[in-house]
């Protein structure tokens, strides 16, 4: 009777872990999946050295499989935590939130914010680039990448722009792939002191 009860409690505990993955760390989730968690020093270097070549190959193959299975189980936990958080099933600083689950959500949020910021910066850069002569007119002030200075547009032709600034007149050939003119310098575009 005791064995059946402990078996029932274990199964019930596993289901609880799968239903609420944010309440445990990756190792507990992995244990609930019945996936062995290897550790670095399972055998000593002396034991490993005394193995035959074929025994080492067999051991290394077994260990590689264990590490891969362990990583997959931990990734499954991570995905379950992120899914539950996205569904609004828990908040990061809740009383039942495991510190590792909190960290997973925090890191995911940071990565998402970085991704959005990078996309916005890329879009600002694309809008800032002057790739065709018909984008400017005589009298416009532009940033010349080659000279690293603001200069004034003095002449516009089909494939090039003539600018004048502290270095005198300069002809800039227009390029889609490598824009040599911009509306603002990198520092001005990103609000940095330079």
At 108 the pLDDT is 96
Going by pLDDT thresholds of 50, 70 and 90, the confidence category of residue 9 is low
Q: In this predicted structure, what is the pLDDT of residue 177?
A: 84
> What's the whole-number mean pLDDT along residues 158-186?
86
**pLDDT mean across residues, the chain:** 88
* Both tokens assigned to 79: 């995905």
Q: Is a pLDDT exceeding 60 seen at residue 193?
A: yes
φ/ψ of 189, rounded to 5, equals -65, -40
Q: 178 pLDDT band (50/70/90 cuts)?
A: confident
Res 186 pLDDT > 90: no
User: Is the pTM for the entire model greater than 0.75?
Assistant: no
Predicted local confidence at residue 25, as pLDDT: 93
pLDDT surpassing 50 at residue 8: no
Q: Where are the alpha helices (DSSP H) in 52-140?
A: 53-86, 99-128
77-82: which pairs have CB atoms within 8 A and are 24 or more residues apart?
77/21, 77/24, 77/25, 77/26, 77/29, 77/30, 78/26, 78/104, 80/18, 80/21, 80/29, 81/21, 81/22, 81/105, 82/108
Q: How many CB atoms lie within 10 A of CB 185?
A: 17
Which one-letter DSSP state was computed for residue 9?
Answer: H
How far apart, in whole angstroms, are the C-alpha atoms of residue 181 and residue 136? 10
Report residue 4's pLDDT band, with 50, 70 and 90 as the boundaries.
Answer: very low
Q: What is the pLDDT of residues 11-64, one digit of tens each?
A: 567 888 899 999 999 999 999 999 999 988 889 999 999 999 999 999 999 999
How many angstroms separate the CA atoms of 114 and 136, rounded?
32
Q: Which tokens hold the place of 170?
A: 């300069």
Say if residue 133's pLDDT is above 60.
Answer: yes
Angle between helices 53-86 and 99-128 in degrees, nearest 10: 80
């Amino acid at each position: 009777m005791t064995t059946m009860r402990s078996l029932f409690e274990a199964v019930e505990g596993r289901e609880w872990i799968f239903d609420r993955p944010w309440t445990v760390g990756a190792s507990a989730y992995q244990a609930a999946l019945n996936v062995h968690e290897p550790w670095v020093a399972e055998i000593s270097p002396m034991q490993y050295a005394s193995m035959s070549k074929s025994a080492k190959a067999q051991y290394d193959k077994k260990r590689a499989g264990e590490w891969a299975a362990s990583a997959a189980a931990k990734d499954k936990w991570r995905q379950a935590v992120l899914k539950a958080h996205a569904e609004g099933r828990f908040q990061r600083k809740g009383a039942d939130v495991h510190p590792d689950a909190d960290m997973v959500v925090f890191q995911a949020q940071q990565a998402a914010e970085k991704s959005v910021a990078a996309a916005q910066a890329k879009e600002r850069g694309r809008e800032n680039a002057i790739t065709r002569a018909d984008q400017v007119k005589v009298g416009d002030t532009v940033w010349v990448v080659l000279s690293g200075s603001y200069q004034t547009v003095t002449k516009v032709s089909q494939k090039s722009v003539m600018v004048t600034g502290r270095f005198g007149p300069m002809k800039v050939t227009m390029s889609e792939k490598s824009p040599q003119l911009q509306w603002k310098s990198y520092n001005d575009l990103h609000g940095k002191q330079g």
